[in-house]
Chains A and B, each alone.
Chain A
Amino acid sequence: MSTPMPVNILMVDDQPGKLLSYEAILGPLGENLLKANSGREALEYLLRTDIAVVLMDVSMPDIDGFQLADMIREHPRFQKTAIIFISAVHLTDGDRIKGYERGAVDYISVPVIPELLRAKVTVFAELYRKTQQLEKLNRELEQRVAERTEALRESENQFRSLANSIPQLAWMADASGSIFWYNQRWYDYTGTTLDEVKGWGWDVVHHPDHLQQVTEKFRHSISTGEQWEDTFPLRGKDGNYRWFLSRAVPIQDVNGKIVRWFGTNTDITERKQAEEALIKSERLAAMGRLAGIIAHEINNPLEAISNAFYLLRDHPSLDEEARYYSKLAEEELARVAHITKQTLSFYRESQQAVAVSLSEVLDNVIELQSRRLQVNSIVLERQIETTGVVQGYAVELKQVFLNLIGNAIQAMPEGGRLRVRLVQSSDRRNGRPGVRVSIYDTGTGILPEHAKRIFEPFFSTKDAKGTGLGLWISKGIVQKYEGTIRFRSLRNGRVHGTCFSVFIPAVATTVPPTRAAMLVA
């Protein structure tokens, strides 16, 4: 009888004759038969080799079978080794139990029946073989599991480092849309923790004006499985919102079932601002060109008419009434000329921006307006705290404050207070250093319905007196300096007035030389 994988059978007996007879009985099994004459010898075998079954005589001189069994069992490696006791003496029930208590597996009594011994050894040898195979299989499985786990961990690590290296914010949601993971950039940008924003908790960084629409669209994608795309602002940890283009794709298992969503948010704030600025500057440039063309077409006949009235004014044939009409016409013509001139400032400027002191500019403007201040009983409060030097063109800057101070005076026909303030300051948007000029009046204030339109061209509240271009041109000039112009106005019974605040950076990065304020506005 051959076996695919012989196992070791250790036979222990102090009588060599008995060992020989066991050998004869078990020989046909085809296993490796090892013979030990004593318990000590048996232990040496056990330590050296893997033993499937120990066949031992209970009564031996130095170490008896039970003692040997105890020693074997103490060793962790042999705790499950099969032991068959062979007892020559009559077995009592007590001996039997004692044997079992020591973990013995079986007994054979003398006289040994060869078939029985073979059968029992065969069972244990097979059991050992099967156990070995199982253990081997188990080890292989464990090895494979370990390898796969390692591979997964590796790919997980790769994914995470990839997800953290992309410039986008990234996240994953389960099939129901509940987010369970964000990349590091998300946390860096929003300043949140996973606990705050997991699941549907991300609503805390959304702008309230957009949240409902964003949520609806996202839920729609989750329920239909369609890719998600949306554009909305997200609040950073500094409290400022930035615009993000956001996308999410469903990840499916082999059966096509959506198991999770992978999403990104790409910061498009600068792109959006650039687009808006481009549209705005294109619109302004187009308006500037249009205004230039119109003004030119007006200027030609205007010059001729002005010349005609100039010649007519003192013509000897005119009587007093005709001269009066001529004078009225000339005055009105002067207004037309004023409009086109303001639209198309004709000043030849230096080609390079130079250091301009805003305190000098303001003093100059105040000087120009001093008569009007006096006539209208307006008290001037001058709060000039700095020389306010900026790089630029004095004429343009003068134009801005002439417009603002002129407007302030016009808002106070019954008198009031005009406060002109000049301080060192910084841009509220980016902290850039510069100068802030504030013009306060105690006038009638700006009607709320006018507030949104006052910087539009040809918008005027002064009826026939204004060109409607002053603030528009002023804003254009300020923006060219990369500055800001804002206003606040109160019309609250006794408390009323307006404050225009202009910020000009100390050094603008791009102030192109200009010839006409209009074209760059």
Chain B
Amino acid sequence: MILCVDDEKNPLVLRKLVLERAGYEVITAGSGKEALEILSSRAVDLVLSDHLMPGMSGAELAKEIKNQNPQMPVVLISGVNDIPAEADVADAFVSKVEGPESLRRQVAAVLLEKTGDTGPPLGQ
């Protein structure tokens, strides 16, 4: 189960669909606050969050998640050109321009490293 976080609706939905196409189960949150609420009640394998969001940024969210559960894999995705120093708390930082295939690969790599998961069941 992947928790996808973004304040922008269309990109969030499309990212969810790409990951679902890759075979993952995906739930979404529209903000860092909402993501933390979901995490407190549901079992999640990985959090994929946009970095630049109003209110809580992706890096702040990652820090909060790691505080509560250091084992939780967190991947940040962003369109900014400069990797913010505070993003180091995340397990990976993905560029939006790299495209859907790259996103799939990086999510799979983090899951493998953090949980030993060899990948999602093959997509439809």
Contact = CB atoms under 8 A, between A and B. Distances in A.
Contacts of A292: 80-82
B96 to A, nearest CB: 4
A271 interface: no
B100 A337 contact: no
Contact of A516 (B17, B21, B81, B99): B81
A204 B11 CA distance: 69
Nearest to A517: B81
A254 interface: no
Interface of B: 8, 10-11, 14-15, 17-18, 21, 52, 77, 79-83, 93, 95-101
Given A311-B17, A346-B95, A346-B97, A303 B11 contact: yes
Contacts of A340: 97
Contact of B81 (A295, A301, A308, A310): A295
Main DSSP-derived SS at the A contact region: helix
Interface string A451-485: 00000000000000000000000000000000000
A300 interface: yes
A345 B17 CA distance: 27
Contacts of A341: 95, 97-98
A43 B96 CA distance: 125
A304 B14 CA distance: 6
Question: Lowest 7 A-B CB distances belong to which pairs?
Answer: A299-B79, A344-B81, A303-B96, A307-B14, A304-B11, A310-B100, A346-B95
10 contacts: A295-B79, A295-B81, A296-B52, A298-B79, A299-B95, A303-B11, A303-B77, A337-B97, A343-B81, A346-B81
Contacts of A516: 81-82
A310 B97 CA distance: 13
A302 B96 contact: yes
Contacts of B95: 299, 341, 346
A150 B81 CA distance: 75
Contacts of A344: 81, 97
A120 interface: no
B79 A300 contact: yes
Given A307-B18, A308-B14, A311-B14, A302 B82 contact: no
